[in-house]
Amino acid sequence: MSEQIVAIGLEGIVVAETDLSLVDGINGHLVYRNHWARDLAINHTFEEVAHLLWFGHLPSAEECKALEDKLAAQRELPAHVKAAIDAIPADVDMMSVLRSAVSLLGESGHSWPPTIDQVISVTAKMPTIVAYRFARLTGKQPIEPNPALKHTANYLYMLQGKEPVAAHVRALDAYLILTQEHGMNASTFAARVVSSTRSDLISAITAAIGALKGPLHGGAPSEVTEMVEAIGTKENAEPWLRHKLENGERLMGFGHRVYKTIDPRATALRVVASQLSADDPWFDLATHIEKVALELLDEYKPGRKLHTNVEFFAAAVMRAVGLKDEMFTPTFAISRVVGWSAHVLEQAANNRIIRPQSNYTGSMPE
């Protein structure tokens, strides 16, 4: 057997061509279909950017309203999905519940190839699943979706039981836009692999949720909040961070597998978070910690190019809008479903089953 090159983890291997996004880690660029993601996050809404990824262009006012209406009309959960969520024990984590509930959405009308109506339906229902489960866990009556509210505002409304303030909606909208799509990451690859077998959209999204659930992929904004709260004061920042680095421990919210310069998503979220929380003592402490951490990382790990990543300022936004730590990764999922589904549509349009090989390293039989 001829020797083959092995790329553990498929690192550096190109498995598809896409016009959905460009992730340029060397130059710190994130592009969604010919638009800078940071500009989209600051100047557009969740629905507008979803339209861009699904249909290939930013919508007109009429197109945007039509998509908003379609999403609003699809938010209700079927009775059997609610019953299944109710039956899941309280100690089962939110991502596992989301994965199981989404898998139950494919009972009919989800054959291959996927359709945009299927995509809109699952995107609309995922926030309702998360909010329904959260209400049950906190002993509250689940709040039904409000069709008068847009996607992000409705999510906060279902979680908090009141119409959210505009600044909170804007901040969370920016975060959800910045996490809608990010190239051929693990969960997106999982979705495309499943779809390449001509399995249905729901199976592909369920697989993607399973991949995002893993701690190496789903991000750790909650660990950033734990770090900031453990430090407590500006005076404690340098000794606390220095102690971590001297013990070989990782500083949460810094460094990224792809970006070797400033994460463009962090840059955009810094702008949004500063507007939202400029007078917030927690945010003031977090920005001080960021400054000290970057100085110490340069001292202890010169040349490593460890910069602030999206999780750091995601933590600031999540805390400001009142989301609990356990809601961080599920909230990530309800945005990333836009990118997952866009990739599934793209895969289906030019499908070939994804079937890599492996090198056998065992012994041969006698």
Please tell me which residue in 44, 151, 256, 343 is annotated as part of the active site: 256
Residue showing tokens 């961080």: 328
Q: How far is CA 174 from CA 39, 171, 182, 318, in A?
A: 10, 5, 15, 11
φ/ψ bin of 303: left (φ > 0), alpha (ψ from -120 to 50), beta (otherwise): left
CA distances (Å), 132 to each of 143, 158, 163, 212, 298, in order? 7, 8, 17, 20, 44
In the residue annotation, 311 being an active-site residue is answered as yes
Give catalytic status of residue 182 as yes or no.
no
Reported as half-sphere exposure (CB side, CA atoms, 13 A), residue 105 has a value of 28
Catalytic residue among 68, 223, 290, 311: 311
Q: Report the alpha-carbon distance of residue 241 to residue 231 in Å, rounded.
A: 8
What residues are labeled active site? Answer: 256, 311
